[in-house]
Amino acid sequence: MSLQIISIILGSLTLASALMVVLSKHPVRSVIYLVITFFLITSMYIMMNAQFLAVVNMIVYAGAIMVLFLFVLMLLNLNKEVEPMATRGSQLAAFIAGGSLFLVLITALKDTLILGQSYRENHSQIGLVKELGNLLFSKYIVAFELTSILFIAAMVGAILLAKREKQIIE
């Protein structure tokens, strides 16, 4: 019972901080709200006894990606005057794109609600590192390896772009 209350409080806090990401006027503040959102999601993972996922979420999203976001924003020094104004067309496009993503997410979430319930009852250890490792390296091995190839391709691409620019300067 008390667990349920905590989940409800955490969930509403997550939604509130996620909303503040969009609503807050200052880009750096938005990023900080996003970091808070990731922390709240981490706490949700812990509530579900998925310690490994929780910590990985913390390291990768809150610790690495958001630091880079903040890094770039601090260097850009964005303010009202230099902020590019969105045209009516791009606003409409953003609305349609965001709306369709939202629809897809809702249809996806409708099934996980039922699936998650039965999963949690049968496998309370599913989020721990041993179970996750076994699953990743047996059932999902192809997807796992393909993802790593994708990452390496992206990394090589980024390095190539950075190198080419340097040659032009020289």
Binding site for another protein (CB under 8 A): 28, 32, 35, 51-52, 55-56, 58-59, 62-64, 67-68, 70-71, 74-75, 128-129
Residue 60 to residues 47, 52, 68, 76, Cα–Cα distance (Å)? 19, 12, 11, 23
Q: What's the closest the beta carbon of residue 80 comes to another protein, in angstroms?
A: 15
Q: What's the closest the beta carbon of residue 168 comes to another protein, in angstroms?
A: 20
Helices (H), the chain: 2-23, 27-47, 51-57, 66-76, 88-122, 129-136, 141-169
Q: Which is nearer to another protein, 28 or 47 (CB)?
A: 28
- Beta carbons of 72 and 154 less than 8 angstroms apart: no
Q: Which is nearer to another protein, 44 or 58 (CB)?
A: 58
Of 33, 34, 51, nearest to 42 by C-alpha is 51
Q: What's the closest the beta carbon of residue 102 comes to another protein, in angstroms?
A: 30
Q: Which is nearer to another protein, 26 or 139 (CB)?
A: 26
